[in-house]
Every structure is written in C-alpha cells, then in structure tokens.
Chain A
Amino acid sequence: MSAVSDPSTWVAQHGDALFRYALMKMRDESQAEDMVQETFLAALKARENFSGNSSEKTWLIGILKHKIIDHFRKHKREQSSDDIESLTEQLDQQFDRTGHWSIPMRTWQEPEQAHEDKEFWKVFSACIAHLPEHLADLFILREIKGLSSEDVCKLLDISTTNNMWVMLSRARMRLRGCLDARWFNRDSNKQNRGER
C-alpha cells in the first residue's frame, strides 16, 4: 500500500490535466469544473483504497473517467461510438488492394500558421470529438504529462502497447483526414487555384 499525496495539493498538481481531459469530453467549461471537483471529493473518500499500483494521476483520471461515463448515462446522452469494424473498413478504403493510397494527398499550406488561429483549435477539437470514443480517449490521454504508455493502456483496458500504437495510428489517420476536409482544403477551389 502506498499513500496518496496531501489532498490540499491535488488541484495544483493534477487540476489542469483533469480539467483538460474533462473539457474535451464534456465540451462545457462549468460542467468540466464540476466533474473535476466531484472527482477530487470521491478520491478523498476513497484514498485509503489507493493501491499505488498506478500513479496518483492515473488513479484520479480513472475516477474522472467513470464520473463522466456516469454523467452521460444519467443524462441519457449517448457518447458517439462508431463500431470498430466500420472504422477499419473506412480506413482500408484509403488504400487499394495492393496497399497503395487510393485518396489524393494534397499538401497543406503553412500548417504552423493554423496554430495561431482560434478557429483551428475549435475544428481540431471537433475532429477529436468525432473519433470513436476509445480513440478519442486514447488520443487525449496520450498527451497528458505524467501518464506513461502503461498508464494509458491500463486506463483504457488496452492489452498491449503494440495495440495502442495501432490504435493511435488509426486516430491520427482519421484526424489527418478530418483536418484536410474541414480546415486545410475546405475550400477546394482556392486549393486548385493556388496549387496547380
């Protein structure tokens, strides 16, 4: 058994990570804040049970994850969950039978500039939200500082890191397609004039 850190330091230590995860899932700032608070209060009650098998952050995010699932269940708002089969099919359509690309790959003009644009971040977040649930979760958790690959696998019940890499590749491929359609080449006329 290992003890948790002083709960009065939790917000400073983990608040931002939990909030960002919650906000990506809830898409509402005040609801996300409430979820973070509920998570800490639940953790406070359960802190005797903290096993120390995972890091404190992983433990807290695990609680938050369940809180969010409960919230959606209560409010009967189904989280989008495409089934994996159809996703695999969609991805396969990007390649022909011999494994060559069957879609056009258009270059992105000055992608870094997009980072300075508020609208871009809205589009990017929306693209993530449109991923199948488990891929979105993986994609977000992967970027949380202090969570190792093993932590992420544990949180999402992914059996091996190898599977995680394959899933990440799918997530990125979809996000690339989404950004291409909704941002970089959204105005295909402009693209044709500029590029060719």
Chain B
Amino acid sequence: MLSCKEIGELLSQGLDRKLSFTDRLRVRFHLIICKTCSCYDKQLQFVARSARRLMQPDKDNQGIPPLSDKASTRITDTIKQQLDKAENKKE
C-alpha cells in the first residue's frame, strides 16, 4: 500500500500525464479511505486550474492581462523599422 506522500506525488503527476492502470487504482482506493489526501487532491487541482487561468485568462480575465494594444503597436513598429533598415542596407 502506498503512503500519503507517494499518493500525493501521483495525484500531481496525474495532472500532467495519464497514470498507469495500477497507479490509477491505487490512487482511487487510497482516496476512498483517506480524507486528507482527497482534500489535498481537490486543492491540487484548484492550484493547477488557477495556473491555467493566470496565464490564459478567459474573456472577463482576472489573470495576467495580455500585452496592451499600445505596447503591441509600438513593438511591432520598432520591429518593422529595424526590418526596413536592414532592407535599405542591402540595397
């Protein structure tokens, strides 16, 4: 039987890859009898969901905003200027 520590590791890995059939069974049985791990599982999933929303906010985003339009335009213009310069040098 796996310890809570080992189960905790598997719970996290389950968010990144598909666990083996045996590991999935081990986790499932453990969560039935262990309230602490099942609470940990929920909180871990919440942490992962939060990370996703932070980096990829939806429409009414509360995570990290995208590059502002102003900055996008400024940076694009700077890149274009540099490209033009390089073109002129060639000619």
Interface residues of A (CB under 8 A from B): 7-8, 10-12, 15-16, 18-20, 23-24, 33, 36-37, 40-41, 44, 95, 98-101, 105-108, 111, 114-118, 120-121, 124-125, 139-140, 142-145, 149, 164-166, 168-169, 172-173, 175-176, 179-180
Residues of A within 8 A of B67 (CB): 11, 15-16, 18-19, 33, 36
**Which B residues lie within 8 Å of A107 (CB)?**
39
Q: DSSP majority for the B interface?
A: helix
Contact residue among B35, B37, B44 (Cβ-Cβ distance under 8 Å from A172): B44
Name A115's contact: one of B13, B36, B53, B66 (CB within 8 Å): B53
State whether A99 touches B3 (Cβ < 8 A). yes
Q: Is the CB of A20 within 8 A of B83?
A: no
The 9 residue pairs across chains A and B that have the minimum distance between CB atoms: A99-B3, A169-B12, A143-B55, A99-B5, A19-B67, A16-B66, A15-B67, A33-B71, A105-B39
A-B contacts counted at CB < 8 A amount to: 133
Q: How large is the interface on B (under 10, 10 to 19, 20 to 34, 35 or more residues)?
A: 35 or more
B interface residues, Cβ below 8 angstroms from A = 3-6, 8-9, 12-13, 15-17, 35-37, 39-40, 42-44, 46-48, 50-56, 62-64, 66-68, 71-72, 74-76, 78-80, 82-83
Given the complex, which residues of A lie within 8 Å of B74, measured CB to CB?
33, 37
A179: chain B residues within 8 A (beta carbon): 43, 46-47
Q: Which residues of B contact A98 (CB under 8 A)?
A: 3
